[in-house]
Structure 1
Amino acid sequence: MSLFYSLTDHLDFHAQVRGDTLLASDDKKSLNFAEAKRRVDRIAGAMEASGLGAGDRVGILAKNSVDNLCTFLACARLGVVAVGLNYRLTQPEVEFIASDAEIKHLFFDAEFDGLRGDYLRAQPGVCYDGADRTPNFDKWIEQGEPVIDSRAGGDDVLFQMYTSGTTGLPKGVLITHRNVLLVTYQGPMTTGKGHRVGEKGLVVAPLFHAVGLVGALMGVIYGGTMIIQRDYDPVGMIDTLEKEQINTTAVIPVMLQFSIICVPDIAERDFSNLHTINYGASPIAEDLLRQCMDIFKCDFIQGYGQTEATLALTFLTADDHRAALNDKPQLLRSCGRAVFGTEIRIVDEHGHTLPTGEIGEIVASGPQLMKGYWKRDDATAKTIVDGWLHTGDAGRMDDEGYVYIQDRVKDMIISGGENIYPAELENVLMSHPAIQDAAVIGVSDEQWGEVPFAVLVSAGQQELTAEDLVEFCRDKLAGYKIPRQLAYVEALPRNPTGKILKKDLREQFRDRMKNTA
């Protein structure tokens, strides 16, 4: 049998050799590896008794829990494809994904019953926390005979995860067993950091997102213990890190930002067992990163990737972070170098590799790339060309192989023939003490074609005027890059991964876009 075959082979191995080791715990349930295997086998048996088989799609509309994770593992054992549904979406958005994926069975929390539209209500449903009108999960799993052996693996699809849809309708990304097993090998090879048997990892990012799901699967694969937080709570995350003496966790930067704001005594907390915080999914402000490193006193690792790459394409390692604090501060603006077994190039619009330092689209090749998009061969062909994933991100690479993301290619602003990457502007704006959060979008202009428009969140001080902003940016940005229009909002719209929804901002401020000619 190939080493990189079935995800649940790892569960079976750990259940046999270290069955008493705690695998996962939430606020209601704790299972060691032996208990988890028995529960997963029984859930898989109930799925089979319900008529589900290899290739069928099952939806999971629920917050993080031990049973959520066990349902996913049961799907993996049987060859059923799990589709995590984002409970923060609207009912029409959930319905679109459910119907597009052709979900045949739904597992859900009672609180999300209202997100089930006509399509999902027409499918069999099992409620984790016991709605009267649906089968209770604990009763439901008693039907059928346990499935004790893996029925799928290798290049079979393990899960179908939908893109965030920041620029269009979400697409179902097909990720295989091999993709996940290889990416969990690439990480430790690249960073020198990996899960160890019995080591505690905090799962706080949602399991419908790669950061949460692959983070939890690290425990299954390497024999670690996963402390599962039902949902992100800025105070609860810090309390759990301290109380459980967590060793490692994976977050998105906005989680760290809110926790620091909401926990006044965070600097006095005991995080002595915490050795690594992994972060990614969106950039982190340099000031926030330095503040977090001072508070948690642990290693930080940044990962850059996207759903189509399972998890990561590059890592900025703990050694890189230390070098940045010593004599290479520019590295804090980098997302690191290519992970083990992966090649990164910067290309122009014709796919030609650009010289070192020039900005173009980031493309990548490696074993973690998706199998394709669900029933979207046209989109797959446009995204993966000759084995290279076209990320849609604009960036540059230095002569040591460090990648610097500038922005999404589609978010680039062209003003008077000059390319402007909003991320560069946002980084400057975020360094102002009166600005808590910032986004820059392009707005139409008769003279220049487009000009940058700043959308700001106040840090609680007096709001800046456009003139204040221009003066602040004058010695930090070229004149054509400086936003000369601005607006304030209470909070920027973000998707669950922390990415700013710029299409929403463009729609919101469409009528306020003034000609600056």
Structure 2
Amino acid sequence: MSTLENLRAVLRMHQIGIVNLLRPDHLLGAAKRNARLGPQAALIMKAAAEHPHAPALTDERGTLNYRQLDEQSNALAHALRELNLPERSVIGVLARDHRGLVLTISAAARANLRLALMNTGLAPQQFAEVVARENVRAVLYDSEFAPVIEALPGDLPRYLTWADEGAADKTIDMLIAGRPITPLPMPERPPGFIILTSGTTGLPKGAPRTKVSPLASALIADRIPFPRQGAIVVASPLFHSTGFGAWTVGLSLADHAVLLRRFDPETILRAIAEHRAQMLVAIPTMLTRILALGPEVIAKYDTSSLRSVFVAGSPLAPELTTRFQDTFGEVIYNVYGSTEVAVASVAQPAESRRAPGTVGRPPVTVHVGLYDDQDAKITRAHVTGRVFVRTGIPFEGYTDGQRKQVIDGFMATGDRGHLDDAGLLYIDGRDDDMIISGGENVYPLEVENLLAERDDVVEAAVIGVDDPEFGSRLRAFVVSTPDAAQDPQEIRDYVRALLARYKVPRDVIFIDELPRNATGKVVRRDLPSGPL
């Protein structure tokens, strides 16, 4: 990243309120803590010093202010050090969104332990394989995941981050009790953390982050209006990059994170109204379920405080964007990115209105490039190519040693897309989702978005299945509204009238819901692809 880009990022952080260039003493202290602890623990310490009585988080157990969160983080860090694990050992956490997870994230860094954030959707055997691969030395977990934990060796230390009735293991509340609330000596460098990829095509990979640039907050907040000391309802799981990144930026602004262990659409609206939340962090399927509540239920809650909805994690259908904004106002910020590259681009509300389907433009310090299959750069508009991203948060490579392709400093995302004449980016589909039918390339996303425009379709997924004549043919799985006719021929005729012949699904199957993982992504391998 060039010096000029660094300066632009710092200035943008000042404008947003993340840093105050008029207080260089505060700035230097924050930079030192970030360099030795990493951003999450460092930002909690900063907020505790500057806004000790401001609410830091609310969950089912109530509210913690920043001073309480900081002191309890220190106490838990002391307890973790007493496990006598070697410095920078990996500990794992398998938890939903609540104070136990936040305390674990903050305390692990202070105790100089590397934290692996585990996906709550892992099956026992998958979880055991990830724990072994990442060399996890202790596990903190919610009691509901006890059956998953049973797959681990019996001598692996384990503690409860959330305890339901009848839970057996020691809780972190017990660990904290009686421990000092004074900070431990800071490590020389941050131990870092590991976020797992979504794992839609196999066992999730570990994507480590050891040294996170203090400019990372600018990358996320540049094109998205975050509140300052306001409330953010975080519906996306913190163990994944969407919720984790948005929550971290919120810490830099001393925001109040409203955390929910389980998603319920009406609970989301109630939380926005109760806390006068200015931001919602969500994945697209959550927006679908909120709208499905219907006008009467939605009208029961005053959501007029809402200024932005940070949406990421899976493709956002243009039709869903329009319907949500028609109901809640111009609030959708459609974020395109990945665990590996963080935020690549953001479509602001006006851009989505003007250019439905766009994922917008890159934020400060980020550059997007398109390359063809021969690795030559594409410079013309409306030409589809492979999407590559160069960012100020460089990817360190997966923990299993694999890496993404890099060209001219740009890293592959695994997606294909194009730019329009105005320079707005569109994602056409994933490389591994592309279907070759009769020699023609088809990206399912185009067909899925078209089907979602129908009033009688809630959502759809399209896959390729073997075909003796064409090699592959399209099979559409459709979730319809309760009053839909569910006529496969009507669906085929609809697509045929609007798209090329080879994009028409030969098979149309109506199902109650699409299979999704814990981060909301459709798991296509779970859709039946055999003979009908």
TM-score of the aligned structures, taking structure 2 as reference length: 0.88
- CA displacement at 1:284 relative to structure 2: 2.3
Secondary structure of the residue aligned to 2:359 is coil
Amino acid at match of 1:351: D
Question: What does 1:14-413 correspond to in 2, within 5 Å?
Answer: 14-119=47-152, 121-130=154-163, 133-142=168-177, 145=180, 148=183, 151-152=186-187, 156=190, 158-179=192-213, 181-191=214-224, 193-196=225-228, 198-262=229-293, 264-309=296-341, 311-321=342-352, 324=353, 328=354, 331-354=355-378, 355-374=380-399, 376-377=400-401, 379-380=402-403, 382-384=404-406, 387-413=409-435
- CA displacement at 1:412 relative to structure 2: 0.5
Q: In 2, distance between residues paired with 1:204 and 1:410?
A: 28
Q: In 1, distance between residues paired with 2:47 and 2:87?
A: 25
Q: Which 4+ residue blocks in structure 1 deviate beyond 6 angstroms? A: none
- 1:515 matched residue in structure 2: none
Q: In 1, distance between residues paired with 2:157 and 2:407?
A: 39
Question: What does 1:397-436 correspond to in 2, within 5 Å?
Answer: 397-436=419-458
Q: In 1, distance between residues paired with 2:141 and 2:107?
A: 15
Count of equivalent residues: 495
Q: Percent identity?
A: 25
* Residue 471 (structure 1) aligned to one of 465, 468, 493: 493
Does the alignment pair 1:442 with 2:497? no
Unpaired runs of at least 5, structure 1: 513-517
Amino acid at match of 1:353: K
Contact 1:334–1:402 (CA under 8 A) maintained in structure 2:
yes
Amino acid at match of 1:95: A
Q: In 1, distance between residues paired with 2:420 and 2:191?
A: 36
Q: Once the two structures are superposed, what CA deviation does each residue of 1:228-275 show, in whole Å capped at 9, x if it has no partner?
A: 112211221111111221111210111111122236420352112111
- CA displacement at 1:318 relative to structure 2: 3.3
Q: In 2, distance between residues paired with 1:153 and 1:367?
A: 22
Unpaired runs of at least 5, structure 2: 1-27
Q: In 2, distance between residues paired with 1:170 and 1:89?
A: 9
Relative to structure 2, which stretch is displaced further, 416-425 or 312-321?
Answer: 312-321
Amino acid at match of 2:204: P
What RMSD over aligned residues (CA atoms) do the two structures have, in Å? 2.2
Relative to structure 2, which stretch is displaced further, 362-371 or 292-301?
Answer: 292-301
Q: In 2, distance between residues paired with 1:504 and 1:86?
A: 18
- CA displacement at 1:177 relative to structure 2: 4.4
Secondary structure of the residue aligned to 1:443 is strand
Q: In 2, distance between residues paired with 1:161 and 1:175?
A: 8
Contact 2:382–2:420 (CA under 8 A) maintained in structure 1:
yes
Secondary structure of the residue aligned to 2:247 is helix
